[in-house]
A and B are shown apart, each in its own frame.
Chain A
Amino acid sequence: MNIVGESWVTTKFENLEDWAQRNSFWPFPFGTACCAIEFMSTLSSHYDVARFGSEVVRFSPRQSDVLLVAGTINDKMAPVLKKIYDQMADPKWVISMGACACSGGFYRAYHVMQGIDEIIPVDVYVPGCPPTPEGLMYGILQLKERVTRDRKKHRVQAGLRAEEQSGKTEEAVDRVDDRVTAPA
């Protein structure tokens, strides 16, 4: 059945790419503790994160673009997390789910990392101990906007690199910075 009929849109390929990326995350669930259980709730039929295009969880860092850190990361786990992050292909984003991943939570202790941003960059912090599924979904929606912005930035930076290689001056840097900080 042809619902759409014979219709067509014109757009730039970049915009199409942005649209695809921000509406279909493939998260890597780095679940260690209680937050992982709430992540399972978010995934399951009651909350159904598939509505936001993020249900294709991948346990391989090579196949995923969002690292979803759910749970306490301690000093023993830290090298593992860093390695997983390094193995993910660019462009990649990080959601830090829950108080422990954001700041160590109430574990101000000898074996607990005081927030994963000690070792990897974080794009969205979701507070809560654990966050409710609604909270996590809000975080995912926030990430969508972030992705649009980031992709633009990546493109501009790629352009910058190209200009640098073709021998342009440093003026290009200022110009590019302006464009990055401009609203999306």
Chain B
Amino acid sequence: MSTIASPPRPETGELAVLAKFPAGSITPQEGLDQPTWIVRREILAELARELRDNPATRFDLMLDLGGVDFPDRTPRFDAVYHLYSIPRAARLRLKVPVDDTDPLPSLIPVWKACNWFERELYDMFGLTIEGHPNMRRILCHEGFEGHALRKDYDAARRWILTEDKIYQPHFDLPNDEDDLFERMTVNIGPSHPAMHGTFRLMAVLDGETIVASDVEIGYLHRCFEKMSETHNWQQVIPYTDRLNYCSSFINNVGYCRTVEQLLGVEVPPKAVWARTILSEFSRIMDHCVCNGTTMVDSGGLTNFWYMFQPREEIYGLLESCCGARLTVSYGRIGGLAQDLPPDFMERCRHLLAIIPPFVDDVERLVEKNRIWIDRSVGVAAISGEEAVNWGWTGPCLRASGVPYDVRRAHPYDLYDTVDWDVPVLYGGDVYDRFRIRMLEIRESLKIIRQLLDRGIPEGGHITSDPHVALPPKEACYNQMEAMIYHFKLIMDGIQVPEGECYSMVEGANGELGFYAISDGSSKPYRLKCRPPCFPIFSTFSRLIQGGSLSDAIVSLGGLNVIAGELER
């Protein structure tokens, strides 16, 4: 259990790096939510290495890479990198203006996390990456033509996948094949229970050992980012529910916070309080599913039923708040969709009383279980340093000994006012990834208990700014202004001022970030979601290499890969 030391002044380190590069190749951009540099692509590779290795900057985590299309500008595209330094708790955004004709250097040698992100950049925007080992589409199917997130691509234009175009695996095979065994290629998924329905794993086996493997995703790519560009700011909220559908409320909060930051809206204390509590309940739900399915994958069905019961009970709470069980859409820009139910407190107290016995039961069943220990300890292990390089965040990273938690490093809502610990384990294997979630469930309960003891804060559940939140129904019926505001909000949507912002929350499986760009209209110009499990799952091939096939099955569940969020 540890905390991150308070960061030094963020400017000093970056200035040292800036001075090393020729004038004009880096232009700092002022007035944004975080330090932003516009970088010429010629020096990008060198700069990236410098930023990572220079002890004054140490940007060890590549959080996110996305593109932005400006059809009227030359060069037309921006490749936007979001970097983070865990030891310094500092952030940096790099924007690289680029055209689709000139290639970007691949940054995989610096941050392995770039591997899939660069493929996504190619898939969505058609930007070419120089030096990428497997430059093919990742989310859209191989029969797709055009690049979907370009502004001139019609949102509803579909392509048919024909059999001759189905993805062929790419293996990095070692050259040490002996003649004793014939190697065999096994395909698992996408419709396979161990692959959770939507992933495809192709593995080359030498006996039972995996020599090399390739993972194909995209079977649940539902065009979240394109959809958010065609809907107005409020209408995006239901889409965010369906990113990580195991804990949809956290997504609501993450998205709303981003837009609130752009708008500069103050959220009333009651909404902040309820958001914190419901986020923690959502985290518990998510961990329950994750640990439950991990056990199912390894043959322990009982735990799954045990872990599902707390979920059902929490569904009851969410249903009483907003009427939906799973995809809640309870968050709103500026607060919550509606007021808390009158029995909110009692329901929460009831949950606090009944959840711990289930957690205890599962822990007693599993933690010292010989079969489980044999199957999980040391399996698919990864060191903290390597995990950071692969872009890991969240419980999986904390199971590898790196205590990075957004709630502690960059507190939001009420997390800095309650007393809780960041659990850290050091094994980095399947067993620790399981255990850390059990520990986090207890920490979440601790947070909720403290908040409940404070009582429900006074005031409304949503901001009273009529440009952001709908006026109360009663006012709409009786007052002229209220009715006009209501009409304007419904017809035109919220007008978000021009600007851009990256805002993050601690999702159930890592840092969930939203990078929003507004051009001043009622729709997002660009909304990039930073999916925590995307970089985690890109490591899967590396994790299972050298292990047996059955180890691969066990290790998938603990990574908590949620297809809706992975592929958006």
CB proximity of A56 to chain B, nearest CB, Å: 13
- The answer to whether A45 and B327 touch across the interface, beta carbons within 8 angstroms, is no
Within 8 A of A (CB), among B92-150: 139-141, 143-144, 148
B499, CB-defined interface residue at 8 Å:
no
B9, CB-defined interface residue at 8 Å:
no
CB proximity of A31 to chain B, nearest CB, Å: 5
Q: Which residues of chain B are near A77, meaning CB under 8 Å? A: 190, 198, 219-220
Q: Which residues of chain A are near B75, meaning CB under 8 Å? A: none
- The answer to whether B222 and A72 touch across the interface, beta carbons within 8 angstroms, is yes
B160, CB-defined interface residue at 8 Å:
yes
Within 8 A of B (CB), among A47-87: 59, 71-72, 74-81, 84
- The answer to whether A76 and B218 touch across the interface, beta carbons within 8 angstroms, is yes
Instruction: Give the distance in Å from the alpha carbon of A30 to the alpha carbon of B157 in the complex.
Output: 26
- The answer to whether A111 and B308 touch across the interface, beta carbons within 8 angstroms, is no
With known contacts A80-B191, A107-B223, A32–B198 Cβ distance under 8 A = yes
CB proximity of B463 to chain A, nearest CB, Å: 26
Instruction: Give the distance in Å from the alpha carbon of A144 to the alpha carbon of B529 in the complex.
Output: 43
CB nearest neighbor in A for B231: A106
Contact of B156 among A72, A81, A109 (CB under 8 A): A109
With known contacts A41-B308, A72-B220, A77-B220, A110–B564 Cβ distance under 8 A = no
- Chain A interface mostly: loop
- The answer to whether B163 and A76 touch across the interface, beta carbons within 8 angstroms, is no
- The answer to whether B222 and A41 touch across the interface, beta carbons within 8 angstroms, is no
- The answer to whether B312 and A33 touch across the interface, beta carbons within 8 angstroms, is no
Instruction: Give the distance in Å from the alpha carbon of A33 to the alpha carbon of B565 in the complex.
Output: 10
Q: Which residues of chain A are near B153, meaning CB under 8 Å? A: 110
A44, CB-defined interface residue at 8 Å:
yes
Q: How does the 8 Å CB contact mask read for A16-40 relative to B, with 1 for contact and 0 for none? A: 0000000000000011111011101
B242, CB-defined interface residue at 8 Å:
yes
A108, CB-defined interface residue at 8 Å:
yes
A101, CB-defined interface residue at 8 Å:
no
- The answer to whether A71 and B155 touch across the interface, beta carbons within 8 angstroms, is no
Q: Which residues of chain A are near B242, meaning CB under 8 Å? A: 33-34
Give the size range of B's interface with the partner: 35 or more
CB nearest neighbor in B for A28: B191
- The answer to whether A74 and B191 touch across the interface, beta carbons within 8 angstroms, is no
B5, CB-defined interface residue at 8 Å:
no
Instruction: Give the distance in Å from the alpha carbon of A73 to the alpha carbon of B311 in the complex.
Output: 26
Q: Which residues of chain A are near B305, meaning CB under 8 Å? A: 44-45
- Chain B interface mostly: loop
With known contacts A40-B308, A111-B222, A75–B197 Cβ distance under 8 A = no
Instruction: Give the distance in Å from the alpha carbon of A96 to the alpha carbon of B450 in the complex.
Output: 44
With known contacts A78-B161, A111-B158, A33–B220 Cβ distance under 8 A = yes
CB nearest neighbor in A for B190: A80
Instruction: Give the distance in Å from the alpha carbon of A132 to the alpha carbon of B327 in the complex.
Output: 11
- The answer to whether B327 and A79 touch across the interface, beta carbons within 8 angstroms, is no
- The answer to whether A33 and B245 touch across the interface, beta carbons within 8 angstroms, is yes
Instruction: Give the distance in Å from the alpha carbon of A147 to the alpha carbon of B477 in the complex.
Output: 51
- The answer to whether B141 and A75 touch across the interface, beta carbons within 8 angstroms, is yes
Q: How does the 8 Å CB contact mask read for B191-206 relative to A, with 1 for contact and 0 for none? A: 1110001100000000
A129, CB-defined interface residue at 8 Å:
yes
- The answer to whether A32 and B193 touch across the interface, beta carbons within 8 angstroms, is no
> How many A-B Cβ pairs are below 8 Å?
125
B320, CB-defined interface residue at 8 Å:
no
Contact of A107 among B144, B218, B222, B312 (CB under 8 A): B222
- The answer to whether B219 and A34 touch across the interface, beta carbons within 8 angstroms, is no
CB nearest neighbor in B for A57: B193
Q: Which residues of chain A are near B564, meaning CB under 8 Å? A: 33-34
Contact of B163 among A79, A111, A132 (CB under 8 A): A79
Contact of B227 among A37, A40, A74, A109 (CB under 8 A): A109
- The answer to whether B326 and A34 touch across the interface, beta carbons within 8 angstroms, is yes
With known contacts A78-B161, A129-B327, A109–B222 Cβ distance under 8 A = yes
With known contacts A40-B308, A129-B327, A32–B563 Cβ distance under 8 A = yes
CB proximity of B553 to chain A, nearest CB, Å: 13
With known contacts A38-B326, A75-B159, A80-B191, A32–B220 Cβ distance under 8 A = yes
CB nearest neighbor in A for B245: A34
A112, CB-defined interface residue at 8 Å:
yes
CB nearest neighbor in A for B189: A80
- The answer to whether A112 and B309 touch across the interface, beta carbons within 8 angstroms, is no
Q: What are 22 A-B pairs with beta-carbon distances under 8 A? A: A30-B197, A31-B197, A32-B563, A34-B242, A34-B327, A40-B289, A44-B308, A45-B305, A45-B309, A71-B197, A75-B160, A76-B221, A79-B163, A80-B219, A107-B223, A110-B153, A110-B226, A111-B139, A111-B140, A111-B221, A111-B222, A111-B223
Residues of A within 8 A of B (CB): 30-34, 36-38, 40-41, 44-46, 59, 71-72, 74-81, 84, 100, 106-112, 129-130, 132
Residues of B within 8 A of A (CB): 139-141, 143-144, 148, 153-161, 163, 166, 190-193, 197-198, 218-223, 226-227, 238-239, 242, 245-246, 289, 304-305, 308-309, 311-312, 315, 325-327, 563-564
| Interchain residue pairs A-B with the least CB separation, the first 9 | A109-B223, A34-B245, A76-B141, A44-B308, A46-B312, A59-B193, A77-B219, A107-B222, A31-B197
19 more contacts with CB within 8 A, not counting A32-B219, A76-B218, A109-B155, are A33-B198, A33-B220, A33-B564, A34-B245, A40-B289, A44-B305, A45-B309, A74-B220, A74-B221, A75-B160, A79-B163, A80-B219, A106-B239, A108-B155, A110-B155, A110-B158, A111-B148, A111-B223, A129-B327
